[in-house]
Amino acid sequence: MPLCPAPVRPTGAAGHRSHLPEVTFCAHPIAGQRRGGQHRRMKHVLREVIQPLSLAGLLAIAAVALSFNAIPSTHGGWRWVGLAGFTVLFLLHDLLPRQYVVRNVSLLLQAALALGLTALQPRAGTTPVLLVMLVAQLAMVWPPLRVVAMALAMNAIMYAVFVRAGFDNALLSVVVYVSFQAFAALTAYYARSAERARDALAYVNADLLATRALLADSARDAERLRLARELHDVAGHKLTAMRINLRLLAADPALAGRDDIRVVEQLSADLLSDIRNVVQSLRDDHGLDLHTALRALAAPFPRPALRLQIDPDVRVTDARVAELLLRLVQEALTNAVRHADANEVAVHLQCQDAQLRVDIHDDGHRAERIREGNGITGMRERLAALHGQLQLERTAQGGMHLIATLPR
């Protein structure tokens, strides 16, 4: 169980040892790194604009704009307004909050603008390219059946526009664009699947790194305790017996006054004292290295960043408690990514009123009330098994605030 003793002299970062055994490779870099890529990156908006997919989309939009100049129209002003609106929504798609309603409204507005531009400029032949771009976006965020239904609806409207404009081969034209849309949607779908597989692998790898760090530290502490017991029970016992026999020899009148016996007796006393000091040093427990394990858990992910604070007087010696803390932080990171679009998760471990208190909050923005899913339920069950409690709150900005307490 967690211990909250008087403060001890820290031996590493955050009061913990700064190195782990060789089995935990790169332990020191993980514990000490600042994740500079998160602090020295270019502005988020600019990064989204100049990414390859956005540049390719801007190139297609530029081609549509050039076609507007090539074909005069009585709706010139509306064309440019519609194209500008589509461009803004296209670029802001990845910057918008990840709430379901906001993203869907943005995509539906893009569909309306693309179809409106097609109706205003049916003979240009370039405006349906915007629908190809839109279908690719839909495939990245919507389930396949919904994408197919939306694509069928948009292409039915496009077919009606072509028929109204007097196209001789309206159906053939629509089929050509449908093939482009299908190719774009499948490419986006497979890219989305690859990203999910990569993220799942990163989660598993991070979990393995963090668990291995705790196991290595726990195994080392167990070995230190075993050595301390062996030294005390074997070497200490025999040295004590030797000192008793040396004292008996020194008390023998026939050997009284011999310096060599006195020296040997003094050396045995010093050796016994040294062994006791070594045993005490081996038994001194600074707790498991939570700092390295928690850093390892968050290291593979670019966001959210983990801001970790562990008070110097926090010592966790029970592997069950260490694993529980690991799962708490892991669940907080997962929720921050999936439900809040957070950039940072702050974790603070402290001793308070003879209890270990874990304070976790993120800077996400949840529009709705926080609902307890399987993850939060699992956290409550883990805490209850160790006689702990969990409080779940919502910050003023919409972030999640978790407060877990464990008895000593």
Residues 298 and 402 in one domain: yes
> Measuring CA to CA, which residue among 149, 86, 90, 140 is closest to residue 114?
86
Residues 80 and 62 in one domain: yes
Q: Are 200 and 258 in contact (CB under 8 A)?
A: no
Supply the pLDDT for residue 317.
77
How far does the chain reach from its first CA to its final CA, in angstroms?
6
Q: Are 361 and 398 in contact (CB under 8 A)?
A: no
DSSP conformational letter for 256: T
- Answer whether residue 35 is part of any domain: no
Tokens read off for 336: 């921050």
- Answer whether residue 205 is part of any domain: no
Domain that holds residue 269: 222-283
- Give a three-class secondary structure readout of 33-100: CCCHHHHCCCCHHHHHHCCHHHHHHHHHHHHHHHHHHHCCCCCHHHHHHHHHHHHHHHHHCCCCCCCH
Residues 72 and 171 in one domain: yes
The two beta strands, 305-310 and 344-352, are parallel
Residues 277 and 131 in one domain: no
The two beta strands, 344-352 and 355-362, are antiparallel
Domain boundary among 283, 298, 327: 283
Tell me the pLDDT of the chain (408 aa) as tens digits.
444 544 433 343 333 333 333 333 333 333 344 444 433 344 555 555 566 777 888 888 888 888 887 776 666 678 889 889 998 888 887 776 655 677 888 899 999 999 999 888 887 788 899 999 999 999 988 899 999 999 999 999 999 999 998 888 889 999 999 999 999 999 989 988 888 888 778 777 777 877 777 777 777 777 777 887 877 777 777 888 888 888 887 777 777 677 777 788 788 888 878 887 777 776 666 667 788 888 878 777 777 888 888 888 888 877 788 888 888 888 888 888 777 678 888 999 998 888 899 999 888 877 667 777 788 888 888 888 888 889 888 887 778 889 899 987
Residues 310 and 187 in one domain: no
- Answer whether residue 321 is part of any domain: yes
Structural domain tally of the chain? 3
Report the DSSP beta bridge partners of residue 352: 355
> pLDDT tens digits for 246-263?
888 777 777 767 777 778
- Give a three-class secondary structure readout of 97-152: CCCHHHHHHHHHHHHHHHHHHHHHCHHHCCCHHHHHHHHHHHHHHCCHHHHHHHHH
From residue 222, alpha-carbon distances to 188, 212, 280, 282, 329 in Å are 51, 15, 14, 10, 25
In whole angstroms, what is the distance from residue 275 CA to residue 350 CA? Answer: 35
Residues 319 and 402 in one domain: yes
407: enclosing H helix or E strand: strand 400-407
From residue 86, alpha-carbon distances to 26, 64, 72, 300, 318 in Å are 47, 12, 20, 35, 57
Length of the chain: 408
> pLDDT tens digits for 370-401?
777 788 888 888 888 888 889 888 887 778 88
Residues 68 and 95 in one domain: yes
SS3 at position 192: helix
Residue carrying the six token digits 């077919």: 159
Assign residue 346 the CATH number of its domain: 3.30.565.10
DSSP conformational letter for 12: S
- Answer whether residue 332 is part of any domain: yes
Supply the pLDDT for residue 35.
43
